[in-house]
Amino acid sequence: MFAGKVLEAYGIPEADAELAAAALVHSDVLGIESHGLALLAKHGSYLVGIERGDINPRPNIRPLRETPSTAVLDADDGLGAVVASRAMHLAISKARSVGTGFVAVRNGRHFGAAAHYSLMATHEGMIGLAMCNAPGTQVAPTFGRAARLATNPVSVAAPTRSQPTFLLDMATSVVAAGRLSLAIRDQLPIPEGWLLDRDGHSSTNPHDFAAGGTLLPLGSRPELGGYKGYALSVTVDVLAGVLSGTGYGAMLTGRTSGIFLGAWQVEAFMALDEFRDLLDQALSALRDTPLLDGATHILTPGEREWRAAQERERDGIPLRHDAEADLMEVARRTGVQFPESIGVVA
Of residues 160-199, which lie at the interface with a second copy (CB under 8 A)? 166, 168, 170, 174-175, 191, 193-194, 196, 199
Residues 6+ apart with CB under 8 A from 11: 50, 57, 58
Are 72 and 83 contacting, i.e. CB atoms less than 8 angstroms apart?
Answer: no
By CB under 8 A, residue 75 contacts a second copy: no
Torsion sign (Cα): 164, 217, 128, 281: negative
What part of residues 5-34 is at the interface with a second copy (CB under 8 A)?
A: none
CA dihedral 34, 109, 177, 215 (to 10 degrees): 160
Query: What are the E-state strand segments in 204-269?
Result: 214-215, 257-265
Smallest distance, a second copy to C-beta of residue 258, A: 11
What part of residues 99-128 is at the interface with a second copy (CB under 8 A)?
A: 99-100, 102, 104, 127
By CB under 8 A, residue 65 contacts a second copy: yes
Closest CA to 36 of 21, 15, 18, 50: 21
Of 44, 162, 223, 253, the residue at the interface with a second copy (CB under 8 A) is 223
What part of residues 301-340 is at the interface with a second copy (CB under 8 A)?
A: 301-302
3-class secondary-structure state, position 308: helix
By CB under 8 A, residue 289 contacts a second copy: yes
CA dihedral 131, 135, 141, 144 (to 10 degrees): -170
Of 269, 273, 310, 333, the residue at the interface with a second copy (CB under 8 A) is 269
Task: Pick the closer one to a second copy by CB: 4 or 128.
Answer: 128
Task: Pick the closer one to a second copy by CB: 48 or 272.
Answer: 272
Of 27, 138, 244, 257, the residue at the interface with a second copy (CB under 8 A) is 244
Of 27, 56, 85, 265, the residue at the interface with a second copy (CB under 8 A) is 265
Task: Pick the closer one to a second copy by CB: 55 or 158.
Answer: 158
Of 41, 234, 309, 342, the residue at the interface with a second copy (CB under 8 A) is 234
Q: Running DSSP on this structure, what letter comes out for residue 336?
A: P
**Phi, psi (5° rounding) for residue 211?**
-85, 20
Considering only the stretches 262-270, 311-319, 320-328, 332-340, report the one whose residues sit in contact with a second copy under the rule CB under 8 A: 262-270
Q: How many residues form the binding site for a second copy (CB under 8 A)?
A: 85
**DSSP alpha helix (H) spans, 147-193:** 178-185
Of 13, 144, 316, 318, the residue at the interface with a second copy (CB under 8 A) is 144
Task: Pick the closer one to a second copy by CB: 210 or 270.
Answer: 270
Closest CA to 58 of 14, 3, 102: 14
Task: Pick the closer one to a second copy by CB: 277 or 324.
Answer: 277
Smallest distance, a second copy to C-beta of residue 241, A: 7
Length of the chain equals 346
The number of beta carbons lying within 10 Å of the beta carbon of residue 283 is 22
Closest CA to 134 of 116, 153, 119: 153
